[in-house]
């Protein structure tokens, strides 16, 4: 156990962010660089090393949180990093981006602010990179088996790293021009600088994983050819089909899916464009959708110099405190969140629904018409007389994703079964109905989180390893149906 009195002596302190006026002028991460280490050992000392560590249950990866809290308290960063990597291939991604269901489940959270588990995690891994503790783990012997991983988001990368380390020869196929999936082109630089992905890819290359970008399976290479070429396939193609808003005026110029808008801003940071082809500069921006994707559009629009930013959400504003009846500890509660993007400005409007868009004579969107709604029998119902219009010269749709891409023919060419929600169906070993073809991440689970994608990638790798060799020593943190303590 860290310090038996740590939680009595120290309050919760979290990573400091840079002043809004400074950080909205650049694209670097919002945190004060290196701000954490001086406080982190004290924060880790608040961990009570619970007999039943609920944090561990709240985390889909089953992270060994009390163990690395203890090492962080003792400033044994090497041992802390070893424990962290025992369950998580990429703690620098989750340490920056995870909504931290572990903290919602922390026992200290029953009557005090929980341990800052996420900040401890990111401090351990940043220190490990700094001190050279993150070395390639090259397999001692090769199995002679080959695996294709399709998709290079967190699920694909986790599966590829596990399978490479198990001795298989692994190639990752990615249709985009760079590796990383939504980590690369969805999540903005100010939430996670892309150097963190590049560093991991170098580690993976050194371990033997091969990467092929610009190849879309189904379109550029038939799925059948891929299956013939490799002994097994892991599909980690995400749930990239975005939900649309088919209201009058949707065809106007200036209305884009969030995933048409955000990648271009990231490509500017990669040096592909001098200025983004879709920009919020000088425009009244409306973001439809109140979730994380919407918040990323808000932060991006601020940095591009929007005249105003309004985020719309059809659901009512959530409460700021956990409801002990409907969302009791240790479940992951739906609370009103103020992300770094929201701290930077803009307005959030709840319980509203878009009725139509209005444009100018050149076909550019100018106004968004909305109505307030109330939920009657579980359905959003317009409130009579509440219609109004707001200026909207750039609209981004961030209303979630409906499933895996069906346009490139991959699903049909493999002959894959889908489940009732349109995701690729799989058995308890993450194997699809096609023998030797596995699925992990959003493609099988539906739109979810990075931590689930990594957990799925690790678990599918075990299923795949068993298929190839008859047994596996790789860990499988979850089963396809697991929901842990999260919604």
Ligand X SMILES: Cc1cc2nc3c(=O)[nH]c(=O)nc-3n(C[C@H](O)[C@H](O)[C@H](O)COP(=O)(O)OP(=O)(O)OC[C@H]3O[C@@H](n4cnc5c(N)ncnc54)[C@H](O)[C@@H]3O)c2cc1C
Q: Burial code of 147-160, b = ≥16 C-beta within 10 A, e = fewer? A: bbbbbbbbbbbbbb
Stretch in the footprint of ligand SF4 (CB under 6 A) among 53-61, 215-223, 246-254, 346-354: 53-61
Find all residues with CB under 8 Å of 59, minimum gap 6, and list them: 65, 101, 102, 105, 451, 484
Would you count residue 65 as binding ligand SF4 (CB under 6 A)?
yes
Residue 287: phi, psi to the nearest 5? -110, 120
Stretch in the footprint of ligand SF4 (CB under 6 A) among 50-58, 309-317, 352-360, 445-453: 50-58
Closer residue to ligand SF4 (CB): 48 or 341: 48
Centroid of chain to Cα 170: 23
Report CA dihedral (171, 177, 178, 183) to the nearest 10 degrees. -110
Q: Which of 91, 156, 330, 477 binds ligand X (CB under 6 A)?
A: 156
450 binds, among ligand SF4, ligand X, none (CB under 5 to 8 A by kind): ligand X
State the angle between helix axes of 65-73 and 37-44 in degrees (0 to 180), rounded to the nearest 10: 120
CB of 131 to ligand SF4, least distance (A): 24
CB of 23 to ligand X, least distance (A): 17
Distances (CA, A) of 450 to 190, 238, 297, 348: 17, 11, 18, 25
Q: Which of 15, 36, 47, 450 binds ligand SF4 (CB under 6 A)?
A: 47
410 binds, among ligand X, ligand SF4, none (CB under 5 to 8 A by kind): ligand X
Closer residue to ligand SF4 (CB): 56 or 175: 56
CB of 196 to ligand X, least distance (A): 13
Would you count residue 474 as binding ligand SF4 (CB under 6 A)?
no
Would you count residue 285 as binding ligand X (CB under 6 A)?
no
Would you count residue 292 as binding ligand X (CB under 6 A)?
yes
Q: Which of 117, 159, 242, 352 binds ligand SF4 (CB under 6 A)?
A: 117
Stretch in the footprint of ligand SF4 (CB under 6 A) among 104-112, 246-254, 385-393, 417-425: 104-112
Would you count residue 293 as binding ligand X (CB under 6 A)?
yes
Stretch in the footprint of ligand SF4 (CB under 6 A) among 43-51, 366-374, 452-460, 474-482: 43-51
Would you count residue 402 as binding ligand X (CB under 6 A)?
no
For residue 381, the SS3 value is strand
Contact string 137-176 vs ligand SF4 (x = CB under 6 A): ----------------------------------------
Q: What is the helix, strand, coil percentage profile of the chain, to 5?
A: 35, 15, 50
**Other residues' Cβ atoms within 10 Å of the Cβ of residue 130:** 12
CB of 47 to ligand SF4, least distance (A): 3
Q: Is the N-terminal amide bond of 275 cis, ω within 30° of 0?
A: no
Smallest CA-to-CA distance from 59 within 20, 35, 86, 19 is with 86
* Separation CA 96–CA 85 (nearest Å): 16
* Separation CA 71–CA 374 (nearest Å): 50
Would you count residue 80 as binding ligand SF4 (CB under 6 A)?
no
Smallest CA-to-CA distance from 357 within 346, 370, 347 is with 370
Question: What do you get for the CA distance between the two ends of the chain, in Å?
Answer: 31
221 binds, among ligand X, ligand SF4, none (CB under 5 to 8 A by kind): none
CB of 115 to ligand SF4, least distance (A): 4
Closer residue to ligand SF4 (CB): 65 or 468: 65
Residue 406 · residue 204 · CB < 8 Å: no
Find all residues with CB under 8 Å of 412, minimum gap 6, and list them: none
Query: How many residues in the chain?
Result: 487
In a 10 Å sphere around its CB, with 0-12 CB exposed, 13-18 middle and 19+ buried, how is residue 385 labelled? exposed
Find all residues with CB under 8 Å of 79, minimum gap 6, and list them: 71
Would you count residue 72 as binding ligand SF4 (CB under 6 A)?
no
Would you count residue 272 as binding ligand SF4 (CB under 6 A)?
no
Would you count residue 98 as binding ligand X (CB under 6 A)?
yes
CB of 86 to ligand SF4, least distance (A): 16
Closer residue to ligand X (CB): 226 or 468: 226
* Separation CA 8–CA 465 (nearest Å): 46
Closer residue to ligand SF4 (CB): 117 or 159: 117
Q: Which of 36, 40, 100, 108 binds ligand SF4 (CB under 6 A)?
A: 108
* Separation CA 106–CA 116 (nearest Å): 10
Site residues, ligand SF4 (CB under 6 A) = 47-50, 53-55, 65-66, 69, 106-108, 115, 117
- Residues forming contacts to ligand X in the complex (CB under 6 A) are 97-98, 150-156, 173-176, 181-182, 186-187, 216-218, 236-238, 240, 258, 262, 292-293, 296, 405, 408, 410, 441-443, 448-451, 453
């Amino acid at each position: 156990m860290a310090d038996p009195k740590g939680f009595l002596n120290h309050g919760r302190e979290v990573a400091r962010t840079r002043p809004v006026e400074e950080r909205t002028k650049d694209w670097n991460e919002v945190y004060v660089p290196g701000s954490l280490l001086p406080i982190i050992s004290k924060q880790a000392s608040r961990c009570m090393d619970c007999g039943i560590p609920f944090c561990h249950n709240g985390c889909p990866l089953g992270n060994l949180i009390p163990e690395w809290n203890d090492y962080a308290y003792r400033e044994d960063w090497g041992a802390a990093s070893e424990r962290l990597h025992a369950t998580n291939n990429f703690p620098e991604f989750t340490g920056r981006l995870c909504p931290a269901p572990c903290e919602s489940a922390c026992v200290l959270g029953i009557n005090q602010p929980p341990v800052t588990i996420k900040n401890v995690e990111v401090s351990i891994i940043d220190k490990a990179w700094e001190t050279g503790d993150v070395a390639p783990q090259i397999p001692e012997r090769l199995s002679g088996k080959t695996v294709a991983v399709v998709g290079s988001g967190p699920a694909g990368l986790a599966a590829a790293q596990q399978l490479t380390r198990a001795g298989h020869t692994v190639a990752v196929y990615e249709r985009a021009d760079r590796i990383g999936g939504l980590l690369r082109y969805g999540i903005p630089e100010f939430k996670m600088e892309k150097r963190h992905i590049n560093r991991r890819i170098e580690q993976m290359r050194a371990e033997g994983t091969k990467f092929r970008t610009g190849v879309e399976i189904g379109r550029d290479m038939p799925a059948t050819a891929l299956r013939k070429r490799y002994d097994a396939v892991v599909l980690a193609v995400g749930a990239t089909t975005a939900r649309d808003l088919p209201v009058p005026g949707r065809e106007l110029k200036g209305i884009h899916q969030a995933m048409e808008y955000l990648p271009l801003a990231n490509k500017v940071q990669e040096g592909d464009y001098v200025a983004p082809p879709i920009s919020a500069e000088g425009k009244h921006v409306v973001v439809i959708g109140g979730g994380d994707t919407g918040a990323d559009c808000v932060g991006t629009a601020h940095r591009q110099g929007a005249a105003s930013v309004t985020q719309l959400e059809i659901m009512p504003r959530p409460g700021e405190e956990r409801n002990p009846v409907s969302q009791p500890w240790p479940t992951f509660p739906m609370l009103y969140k103020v992300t770094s993007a929201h701290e930077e400005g803009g307005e959030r409007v709840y319980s509203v629904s878009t009725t139509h868009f209005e444009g100018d004579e050149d076909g550019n969107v100018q106004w968004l018409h909305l109505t307030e709604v109330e939920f009657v029998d579980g359905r959003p119902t317009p409130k009579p007389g509440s219609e109004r219009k707001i200026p909207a010269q750039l609209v981004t749709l961030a209303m979630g994703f409906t499933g895996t891409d069906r346009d490139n023919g991959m699903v049909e060419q493999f002959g894959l079964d889908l489940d009732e929600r349109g995701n690729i169906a799989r058995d308890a070993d993450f194997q699809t109905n096609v023998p030797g073809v596995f699925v992990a991440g959003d493609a099988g689970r539906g739109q979810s989180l990075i931590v689930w994608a990594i957990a799925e990638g690790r678990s599918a790798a075990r299923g795949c390893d068993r298929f190839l060799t008859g047994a596996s020593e790789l860990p499988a943190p979850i089963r396809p149906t697991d929901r842990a303590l999260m919604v």
